[in-house]
């Protein structure tokens, strides 16, 4: 087991990022009360972002907490954690640790991934079990089983796409987490339907794909009559599915593991419940059989708008580079050049302008190579994500950080120098931090 010690418990974000990158739950250990509270934001962030994380904290014994008798760092952590995670479990007997870990792993991974909290009262931590305790250790089998929609659900989706004049594919980070890039690329290649990636879905299909409509985002979404959502939620990042970002009469097909998400903000005309990879393995052949292709006049319209916007963007970069001082565009453009030459490099980004401009300027070629603040938008996760990425992948990592974020992670360089300097000698990890002011 790999263990990394950090100065503060909010480093649980590191474990959450590791969970996203590996598809296995990252595990964060904290001390009680204040330490637990320091990790709570990371637990909530993992749950909102759908990253598998298990946070384990020591706590006061129940007979003291339940009667409010007063204890050193006393806090009812189990009940405090419940609203902020996918599930919380209290382990009252040491012999149940195997069962508790197995439940936590399955809960973190099954359905929509998220954060799980395990509460260990003092009596459990100090308890002992029999030396031969293999019977108490559970191996989780098929923690995230495949799920497939019905044939009728597939038919509904195919019928909508068959009649679409302005179809669009909208990719969310769920598509990246699901390792569904092969299926998504096959869908795009065979239909030529324009696609738009959310920020952490960049690279599921390479940004330089001729089917990318990212440079014509407003036009593509604003005129789309059928939107195929793959691992994306109609939350605040997509104006909750409302006009003027989308047409009032737009039809939606949504590939989603959790049925509760359907109709959360507007009508979903063809819900496809299941894990993304399995759904697409069933949907793509049906689409191909129906002979569905994006209409050429729609592709031409998007191409024209993309060229116009790309020309404006290029002029903005040139104007920035002509100034004697370093600006966002002139600072980030060399990073983009590096990323295109070395597509195995990972980039982590957060901030305001830094995040927004970097998202538009830095092209991605590979999935899961870009991490940012995600759905909840919590700042201060950047260096933690970068540490986790360097540790888990052994690849070069760039942390592109806005200047205000530096106030949040002032303790992180200690971890970088303690662990990553050693790692750079052993595994040739290159860790680069770019901070924009």
Q: Inform me whether the pLDDT recorded for 420 exceeds 60.
A: no
CB 163 within 8 A of CB 191: no
pLDDT band at 326, cuts 50/70/90?
confident
Q: What is the pLDDT of residue 33?
A: 93
DSSP line for 257-300:
S-GGGTTSSS--SEEEES-HHHHHHHHHHHHHHTT----HHHHH
Please give the DSSP secondary-structure letter assigned to residue 365: -
Distance separating alpha carbons of residues 400 and 348, to the nearest angstrom: 6
pLDDT at residue 36 is higher than 60: yes
User: In this predicted structure, which of 85-94, 154-163, 317-326, 419-428 has the lowest mean pLDDT?
Assistant: 419-428
- The terminus-to-terminus CA distance of the chain in angstroms comes to 39
Highest mean pLDDT among 200-204, 329-333, 374-378: 200-204
State the pLDDT at residue 5.
79
pLDDT of residue 414: 53
What was the pLDDT predicted at 133? 63
Domain ranges in the chain with CATH number 3.40.50.970: 9-136, 323-436
Which helix (H) or strand (E) is 18 found in, with range?
Answer: helix 12-22
pLDDT of 429? 35
Q: What is the pTM of this model?
A: 0.91
Q: What gap in Å lies between CA 161 and CA 371, rounded to an integer?
A: 31
Residue 418 pLDDT > 70, yes or no?
no
CA torsion, ordered 103, 109, 113, 118, to nearest 10 deg: 30
Q: What is the DSSP letter of 219?
A: H
> Is the model's pLDDT at 413 over the cut of 70?
no
Name the burial class of residue 63, with classes exposed (0-12), middle (13-18) and buried (19+) by CB atoms within 10 angstroms of its CB: exposed
Structure token digits, residue 88: 């919380």
In this structure, what are the phi and psi dihedrals at residue 231, rounded to the nearest 5 degrees?
Answer: 70, 25
Cα atoms found within 13 Å of the Cα of residue 331, Cβ hemisphere only: 17
φ, ψ of residue 348 in degrees (nearest 5): -115, 135
Q: Which residues of the chain does CATH 3.40.50.1220 include?
A: 151-301
Q: What is the mean pLDDT of residues 171-200?
A: 98
Binned at pLDDT 50, 70 and 90, residue 110 comes out as: very high
Residue 145 has pLDDT above 70, yes or no: yes
Q: 338 vs 21, 343, 366, 385, 418, CA distance in Å? A: 22, 8, 14, 20, 27
Q: Chain-wide mean pLDDT for the chain?
A: 90
**Beta-sheet strand order (sheet of 53-59):** 26-30, 53-59, 115-121, 87-90
pLDDT digits (tens, 9 = 90+) for 121-141: 999 999 888 766 666 788 899
Under 8 Å between Cβ of 374 and 42: no
Look up residue 429 and give its two tokens: 């990890």
Q: What is the band of 399 on the pLDDT scale with cuts at 50, 70, 90? A: confident
Largest CA distance in the chain: 73
- Check pLDDT > 70 for residue 2: yes
Q: Does the pLDDT at position 1 exceed 80?
A: no
Tally the C-alpha atoms within 13 A of residue 281's C-alpha that lie toward its C-beta: 11
| Arithmetic mean of pLDDT, 310-329 | 90
Q: Catalogue the E-assigned strands of 122-210.
A: 167-171, 195-197
- The superfamily CATH assigns to domain 9-136 is Thiamin diphosphate (ThDP)-binding fold, Pyr/PP domains (3.40.50.970)
Crossing angle, helix 328-341 and helix 353-361, to 10 degrees?
40
Which of 160, 278, 274, 329 minimizes the C-alpha distance to 228? 160
Which whole-number Å values give the CA distances from 234 to 28, 97, 219, 372, in the listed order? 30, 38, 18, 18
pLDDT above 60 for 279: yes
Average pLDDT over residues 144-166: 97
Half-sphere exposure of 141 (CA within 13 A, CB side): 1
Burial of 73 (0-12, 13-18, 19+ CB in 10 A): middle
CB-CB contact of 13 with 381 (8 Å)? yes
Return the CATH number of the domain spanning residue range 323-436: 3.40.50.970
The mean pLDDT value for 157-175 works out to 98
| pLDDT score recorded for residue 425 | 29
How does 385-404 read in b/e, with b if 16+ C-beta sit within 10 Å? Answer: bbbbbbbbbebbbbbbbbee
**pLDDT bracket for residue 18 (50, 70, 90):** very high
Whole-angstrom distance, CA of residue 249 vs CA of residue 226: 9
The more confident residue out of 380 and 232 is: 232
The domain made up of 151-301 is a member of CATH 3.10.20.30: no
pLDDT, average across residues 293-320: 96
R_g of the chain, CA atoms, integer Å: 23
Q: What's the token pair of residue 398?
A: 């760039």
Nearest to 306, CA basis, from 186, 169, 227, 207: 207
Instruction: Indicate whether 206 pLDDT > 90.
Output: yes
Query: Each residue of 197-208: b (16+ CB within 10 Å) or e?
Result: bbbbbbbbbbbe
Percent of the chain with pLDDT over 90: 75
Tell which residue, 249, 222, 225, 226, has the closest CA to residue 238.
Answer: 222
Give the pLDDT of residue 424: 32
């Amino acid at each position: 087991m790999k263990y990394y010690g950090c100065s503060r418990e909010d480093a649980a974000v590191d474990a959450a990022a590791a969970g996203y990158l590996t598809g296995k739950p990252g595990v964060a250990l904290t001390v009680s009360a204040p330490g637990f509270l320091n990790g709570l934001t990371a637990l909530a962030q993992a749950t909102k972002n759908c990253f598998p994380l298990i946070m384990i904290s020591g706590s006061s014994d129940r007979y003291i907490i339940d009667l409010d008798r007063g204890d050193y760092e006393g806090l009812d952590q189990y009940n405090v954690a419940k609203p902020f995670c996918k599930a919380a479990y209290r382990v009252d007997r040491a012999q149940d640790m195997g069962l508790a870990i197995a439940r936590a792993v399955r809960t973190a991974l099954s359905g929509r991934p998220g954060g799980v909290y395990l509460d260990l009262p003092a009596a459990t931590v100090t308890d002992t079990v029999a030396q031969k305790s293999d019977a108490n250790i559970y191996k989780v089998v098929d923690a995230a089983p495949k799920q497939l929609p019905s044939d009728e659900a597939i038919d509904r989706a195919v019928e909508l796409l068959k009649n679409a004049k302005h179809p669009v594919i909208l990719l969310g980070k769920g598509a990246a987490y699901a390792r569904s890039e092969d299926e998504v690329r096959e869908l795009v290649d065979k239909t030529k339907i324009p696609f738009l990636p959310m920020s952490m879905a960049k690279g599921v299909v390479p940004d330089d794909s001729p089917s990318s409509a990212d440079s014509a985002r407003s036009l593509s979404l604003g005129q789309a009559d059928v939107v195929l959502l793959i691992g994306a939620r109609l939350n605040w990042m997509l104006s909750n599915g409302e006009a003027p970002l989308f047409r009032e009469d737009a039809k939606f097909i949504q590939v989603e593991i959790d049925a509760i998400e359907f109709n959360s903000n507007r009508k979903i005309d063809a819900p496809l419940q299941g894990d993304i990879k399995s759904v697409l393995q069933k949907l793509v052949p049906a689409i191909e059989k129906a002979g569905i292709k994006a209409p050429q006049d729609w592709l031409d319209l998007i191409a024209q708008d993309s060229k116009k916007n790309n020309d404006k963007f290029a002029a903005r970069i040139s104007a920035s580079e002509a100034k004697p001082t370093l600006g966002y565009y002139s600072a980030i453009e060399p990073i983009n050049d590096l990323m295109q030459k070395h597509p195995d490099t990972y980039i982590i980004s957060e901030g305001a302008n830094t995040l927004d401009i970097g998202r538009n300027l830095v092209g991605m070629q590979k999935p899961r190579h870009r991490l940012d603040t995600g759905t909840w938008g919590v700042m201060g996760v950047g260096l933690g994500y970068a540490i986790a990425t360097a540790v888990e992948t052994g690849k070069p990592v760039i942390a592109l950080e806005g200047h205000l974020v530096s106030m949040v992670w002032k303790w992180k360089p200690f971890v970088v120098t303690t662990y990553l300097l050693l790692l750079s000698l052993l595994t040739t990890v290159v860790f680069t931090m770019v901070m924009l002011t």
